Chains A and B, each alone.
Chain A
């Protein structure tokens, strides 16, 4: 079973190089505050700028919670990340879903950012895990994310 990749685009009023730098280098500042996956709110979200670099959040106590890693680091046009959080928002080293970001200059100015999240079927590969998620973990996390997103609006 496969699930079609998610594709999302957004346009920002800056150059690809700057959009790339902001997206990857200042994620902790633009990512909706309050409820990430760590036990406490994040003070930073770090993508180490190199292949195999870690992707993690850090809280005020310095505790780090992994999200994934860098699979390909190609500024200013592309970064390929491994999103390794399962549907319960828990880091799973055995789970790799690809999250690709591309940054392209638009003829009329600005940069189009395309996000593609693929291999989603891997999130549901274990039907037993899915059952557990649907039964227990999901509703609360969904509510959390809805709250988070609304706060950010």
Chain B
């Protein structure tokens, strides 16, 4: 199920969620993320690594530093979830509509 995927698991950790929320406000380097949080740079690096592995964050080099941002593809999880939602709603509709038709036969 979607809710059990690594994205949700990655965000179960409060510090990691704080890192994620920091990036939701805009791209940032490890140092910039660490400035606003009561955790060390190496710890922030570790959290970013997990978030990246979960597909929630990506990074690129800007000169000598590495800049992290939210990965727009993470939003694909939302799409998958809605897709399931509508698939099931339409199934329910089909079952209902066809059952009425069967009654007429």
Task: Give the B-binding residues of A (Cβ under 8 A).
Answer: 1, 3-4, 6, 8-14, 18-19, 22-23, 26, 29-32, 87, 113, 115, 117, 120-121, 123-124, 127-128, 130-132, 134-135, 138-139, 142-143, 145-146, 148-149, 152-153
Tell me which residues across on chain A come within 8 A of B83, comparing CB atoms.
6, 8
Q: A6-B83, A8-B87, A10-B90 are in contact. Are A87 and B78 (CB under 8 A)?
A: yes
| Chain B interface, DSSP helix/strand/loop, else mixed | helix
User: Are A32 and B97 in touch, CB under 8 angstroms?
Assistant: no
Name B96's contact: one of A11, A29, A134 (CB within 8 Å): A29
With A4-B79, A132-B21, A134-B8 given, can you name 18 additional A-B contacts, CB distance below 8 Å?
A3-B78, A9-B90, A11-B94, A12-B97, A13-B97, A19-B97, A29-B96, A31-B89, A113-B90, A115-B86, A128-B25, A130-B70, A131-B17, A131-B70, A138-B3, A145-B84, A146-B3, A149-B88
- Chain A residue with the shortest CB-CB distance to B9: A139
- Chain B residue with the shortest CB-CB distance to A99: B86
Taking the nearest CB of chain B, how far is it from the CB of A20, in angstroms? 11
- The answer for the CA separation of A142 and B8 in the assembled complex, in Å, is 11
Q: A22-B97, A29-B96 are in contact. Are A8 and B90 (CB under 8 A)?
A: yes
Tell me which residues across on chain A come within 8 A of B11, comparing CB atoms.
134-135
User: Are B101 and A113 in touch, CB under 8 angstroms?
Assistant: no
Name B91's contact: one of A10, A14, A134, A139 (CB within 8 Å): A10
User: Are A12 and B93 in touch, CB under 8 angstroms?
Assistant: yes
Taking the nearest CB of chain A, how far is it from the CB of B98, in angstroms? 5
Name A10's contact: one of B24, B94, B100 (CB within 8 Å): B94
Taking the nearest CB of chain B, how far is it from the CB of A16, in angstroms? 12
Residue-wise, chain B 1-39 has the 8 Å CB interface mask toward A (1 for contact) of: 111000110010000010011001100000000000000
User: Are B85 and A135 in touch, CB under 8 angstroms?
Assistant: no
Interface size class of B (residues with CB under 8 A): 35 or more
- Chain B residue with the shortest CB-CB distance to A33: B92
Taking the nearest CB of chain A, how far is it from the CB of B53, in angstroms? 15
- Chain A residue with the shortest CB-CB distance to B86: A8
Name B21's contact: one of A10, A19, A128 (CB within 8 Å): A128
User: Are B85 and A145 in touch, CB under 8 angstroms?
Assistant: yes
- The answer for the CA separation of A9 and B11 in the assembled complex, in Å, is 34
A-B residue pairs, 9 tightest by C-beta: A30-B96, A142-B3, A149-B88, A131-B24, A12-B97, A127-B24, A10-B90, A124-B75, A13-B101
